Amino acid sequence: MEWKDMYPQTNQPSFEAMADYIGGESRRLWDSLFSYMNSAYNSKPKMTYSSCSGKPGWNVKFQKSGQSFGTLYPEEGSFSVFMVISYKYEAEMEKLRNELSPEMREQYDNAQDYMKMGRWMMFRINTDVDLRDYKLLMSIKIKPKK
């Protein structure tokens, strides 16, 4: 059963239910990300509902000082991230680019314009490398605590 059908807008899930739906190895990555966001940014998750036709349903957002780190979408066996990287970070991204995995570099290079604000990316987190890349991308927006 799809996530959006399990939890319609009138039935908000718990964070635990979301993690259970993700399951498997990706749940470990999900839990690790939540822990990282708390320790590196003191950022707490916020659950929201999206009616967007691309990814409808409950999702999670992390923010710090008004800066969004993207939107996390639960999927069975994984989760995806929608992230906009502002054009004002182009110079920092050029420096960081070679630290990203080849797949994420290609994703970034091919990212499309998002309402003249920046490049938008939608990518799946399935591995430790994917999560590392996401953390690197977040560090462009706000440097994590040491």
pTM strictly above 0.75: yes
Residue 74's beta-bridge partner residues? 79
* Tens-place pLDDT, residues 26-49: 999 999 999 999 999 999 999 999
Q: Are 124 and 78 in contact (CB under 8 A)?
A: yes
CATH number 3.90.1150 is the correct assignment for the domain at 3-141: yes
**9/138 Cα distance (integer angstroms):** 28
Mean pLDDT value of segment 47-60 = 90
CA 42 to chain centre: 16
* Tens-place pLDDT, residues 84-139: 999 999 999 999 999 999 999 999 999 998 888 899 999 999 999 999 999 999 99
Per-residue pLDDT at 116: 85
